[in-house]
Amino acid sequence: PHNPVEKTPVTILGLGAMGTALARAWLAAGHPLTVWNRTPARAAALAAEGARVADTAAEAVAANTLTVVCLLDDASVGEVLAGTDLTGRDLVNLTTGTPAQARARAEWARARGARYLDGGIMAVPPIIGVPETGGYVFYSGPRELFDRHRATLGVPAGTTYVGEDPGFAALHDVALLSAMYGMFAGVAHAFALISKEDIDPAALAPLLADWLAAMAPAVHQTADRLRSGDYTKGVVSSLAMQVAGTPTFLSTAEQQGVSPELLAPYFELIRRRLAEGGGEEDVTGVIDLLVR
Ligand code: FVH
């Protein structure tokens, strides 16, 4: 068995932008590293930095107990691992996918004698290995397996364990990124509104950023209302008031020559909730309308 005072050897399959950043972080921290990539040229720089380059994925997996996979998508994971012997291996899959893909991949790995953790990376390559940037990875799967590799997995980025269900890391990843896209949509609309005016986007930017940061804690109230089932609890801005304000937003968009296509679907949902009697609630009831 591996001496615990030594750094755990790691195998990485996939040397794209993210796999290479992960590899560099482990190399820099002194972990013996074996790498493999479909296009071998991408391994050359890492070899010069001390990584051992395997000729095949099977050879790379055989080299170490811990294998980290960071490939394009779930289909490429299936292709790459198809010819490998996973018996007794600890497989950590950081490839982005759906919760269903993660659950199926966990079962697939278990059937081949491997132990499996799934991960969802909340970071971009330049902040991997730079702890103060706050990048982290969601992990799900067996708690004992996560605890065993926690120190090693914590080298490139922070770690947040979200449960035994192997699909939960992907679900948390997609949930946070979905919220991010909603924010990007609002930001796009805001910049579009000022685009034909003598307003410097750089002057609006800090106002927008501060406003979004001030609004962000509202997610805790939403969680509180969802848990209690009382969507009227502590409501300051009622749904009725908010729906009454929607013509102002739509008219302003029209006056500024801006399409309402990003805002309109949300307004449609809050109007529906109002029509169903949710006027004294806040906007939490929209969640019930979304869940099929
Ligand atoms: N880069 C980012 O900003 C995001 C941040 C959050 C997490 N994602 C996910 O990380 C996975 C890898 O992303 P990446 O940035 O490393 O992606 P690429 O640079 O495009 O590299 C893709 C690697 O996958 C290999 N590959 C693709 N298809 C196959 C295949 N059929 N068989 C074997 N390998 C394959 C590719 O190999 P090659 O093209 O160099 O031969 C790269 O190693 C991803 O899930 C993101 O969603 C990154």
Q: Is 68 in the pocket of ligand 1 (CB under 6 A)?
A: no
User: For residue 137, what are the β-bridge partners?
Assistant: 121, 159
| DSSP string covering 180-219 | HHHHHHHHHHHHHHHTTSS--HHHHHHHHHHHHHHHTTHH
> What are the tokens at 77?
């994971």
Ligand 1 mean position to 61 CA, how many Å? 18
Smallest CA-to-CA distance from 129 within 53, 33, 29, 16 is with 29
In 3D, which of 229, 238, 121, 247 has the Cα closest to residue 174? 121
CA–CA separation, 57 and 9 (whole Å): 16
**Residue of 35, 72, 172 with the most ligand 1 atoms within 8 Å of its CB, for mutation:** 72
What is the three-class DSSP state of 284?
coil
Query: pLDDT tens across 249-264, in order?
Result: 999 999 999 999 999 9
Tell me phi and psi for residue 231, to 5 degrees: -85, 0
- Alpha carbon of 131 to ligand 1 centroid (Å): 22
Ligand 1 pocket, residue 70 CB under 6 Å: yes
Low-confidence ranges of the chain (pLDDT < 70): 1-5
Tell me, what's the pLDDT at 145?
98
pLDDT for res 3: 59
Strands 136-140 and 115-122: antiparallel
DSSP-based helix, strand, coil % in the chain, nearest 5: 55, 10, 35
- How many CB atoms neighbour CB 47 within 10 A? 12
Note the pLDDT of residue 131.
86
Q: Tell me the C-alpha distance between 35 and 42, whole Å.
A: 10
Rounded to the nearest angstrom, the distance between the alpha carbon of 20 and the centre of ligand 1 is 10
Q: Is 93 in the pocket of ligand 1 (CB under 6 A)?
A: no
CA distance 108 to 235: 47
Which atom of ligand 1 is nearest the CA belonging to 73?
A: 45
The rounded Cα 222 to chain-centroid distance in angstroms is: 21
- Write the pLDDT tens digit of every residue in 187-214: 999 999 999 999 999 999 999 999 999 9
The count of other CB atoms within 10 Å of the CB of residue 143 is 13
Cβ neighbours of residue 117 closer than 8 Å, sequence gap 6 or more? 90, 91, 92, 93, 139, 140, 141, 142, 145, 146, 149, 166
At 52-83, the pLDDT tens digits run 999 999 999 999 999 999 999 999 999 999 98
**Cβ(177) – ligand 1 distance below 6 Å:** no
Alpha-carbon dihedral angle through residues 53, 58, 64, 67, given to the nearest 10 degrees: 90
Domains and CATH numbers, the chain: 10-170 (3.40.50.720), 217-290 (1.10.1040.10)
Is the CB of 39 inside a 6 Å radius of any atom of ligand 1?
yes
14 lines ligand 1 (CB under 6 A): yes
Nearest to 121 by CA among 63, 177, 182: 177
Distance from the CA of 187 to the center of ligand 1, in angstroms? Answer: 28
